[in-house]
Amino acid sequence: MSEPVRVGVVGMGTVGSGVVRLLVESADHIERHAGRRIVVEKAVVKDVAKARSVQLPGGKISADIRDISRDPSISVAALLVGGLEPARSMMVELLENGKDVVTANKALLAEHGPELFELARKKGRSIAFEAAVAGGIPIVAAIGECLAANRIESIRGILNGTSNFILTRMEEDGADYADVLKLAQEKGFAEADPSMDVDGTDATQKLAILAHLAFGVWVPWGEIPRTGIEGIDLDLLNYAAELGYRIRLVAVASRSDGKLAMRVAPALVKIGTPLAETRGAYNAVSIVGDAVGRMFFHGLGAGQMPTASAVVADIIDTVVGRAAITFRTTGVLSADTPAARLAGVESHERHFLRIMVNDRPGVLAKITGILGDHGISIASVIQHAETGAADSVVPLVIMTHTGGSAAVQKAVAAIDRSDVVRGKSVCLSVLEE
């Protein structure tokens, strides 16, 4: 009988506790897949005295990363600490001491991926990171392995469960953003400080990782244009529904004529399409490959057990040697990976505009005239509110025909400078599939 594989777990928060639970409670099932017993040898935590939902025998919990990194009996470490530091220093310590690493930390990989992956290669180790993007959805393996025969043409995805939960509940309950955000925090979908979720940072970091896997280039995540959901109100959701759409925070990466376009922003998605029907804390990713066509992945993108599922799957892949093969052959986050600079690639889409205008004659003609001057054709107009008061302000909603994004942005800027407009207009892309 083969000797068991001994694993160290760094961090026993929500995900770490889930990983330990799976490894302990599903040990027989996991052994059948790994071909060897996998046991949790030790866990490193910030506060040893803290009560936890999963217990390890006395002596197996430590506050010193070196108790894992320098234990020769431990071959695999699951690094389940968030943020950049001390997570980066911990991974360096683990790799320098010959450990294969499994992680769910997308911020760490998006910021320091090339450096850490080069260190892993230098030391003959591997880094597996399925859980870093889209929780329990096996999207990293799908792009990096299963679709390796394809040139990936585009990726569209809902990559942040918190934002999707908020938008879904606003739609379904008719509730304001602030009230739903509070509910998300109460349910554990949103952190006390939700800014990285709602401002698009989390989704952008995940998109940077997926784009690297799909296109073989490295784009610093901070260079990817992003807009969060803070400006989405109930009126916008209702107008979108009236037109046959829902609003989702969508991450987009596409390649055309050797140029790469990427963004994260709220967009209108047509009701009935997979992205529009992705609700609550679920994630979804649509991929188009030149050989396979369009594929769609859907599942829980966060939460204890979905994320733990991905971590344990990576541990199994590491134990059986699949992770090492993939890591060695795909050139993931290599120093040789070309860096890509996004050069404002023009997109051609329909656009949704909400413009707050003075309620007086001639306003619509002035707005449509500005759009026409920029070559923007109008598909439909909605204006419900009419007060008749000289100083009243009402929303004007316009859906355009397909047009270049640069022309639309210039037109919106000109509209906002007009003396009939109050405040900043909202301009959202429209995705038809």
Report how far residue 260's alpha carbon sits from residue 309's, in angstroms, rounded to the nearest whole number.
32
**Residue 33 CA, distance from chain mean position:** 29
Asked if 164 contacts 281 with a C-beta cutoff of 8 angstroms, the reply is: yes
SS3 301: coil
> Residue 272: left if φ>0, alpha if ψ -120 to 50, beta else—which one?
left
State which H helix or E strand residue 363 sits in.
helix 363-373
Q: Are 103 and 80 in contact (CB under 8 A)?
A: yes
Q: How far is CA 380 from CA 91, 170, 229, 385, 393, in A?
A: 54, 25, 24, 16, 20
List 9's β-bridge partners, or say none. 43, 78
Give the integer Cα–Cα distance in Å for 121 and 8.
Answer: 20
433: Cβ contacts below 8 Å, ≥ 6 apart: 270, 273
- 21 phi and psi angles, rounded to 5 deg: -60, -45
Q: Which residue reads 């134990």 in tokens?
A: 319
* E-assigned strand segments in 53-169: 61-62, 74-79, 100-103, 127-128, 152-158
| Residue in the structure block whose two tokens are 């450990």 | 99
By the 8 A CB rule, do 347 and 262 touch?
Answer: no
Pairing of strands 348-358, 393-400: antiparallel
Select which of 50, 206, 259, 424 is catalytic. Answer: 206
- Cβ burial 249-282 (10 Å sphere, 16+ → b, else e): bbbbbbbeeeebbbbbbbbbbeeebbbbebbebb
Q: How far apart are CA 96 and CA 144, in angstroms?
A: 25
Q: Residue 105: what are its φ and ψ, rounded to 5°?
A: -90, 90
Whether omega for the bond prior to residue 86 falls within 30 degrees of 0, making it cis, is yes
> Are 188 and 13 contacting, i.e. CB atoms less than 8 angstroms apart?
no
What are 413's two structure tokens? 């800027």
Would residue 206 show up in a list of annotated catalytic residues for this protein? yes
List active site positions. Answer: 206
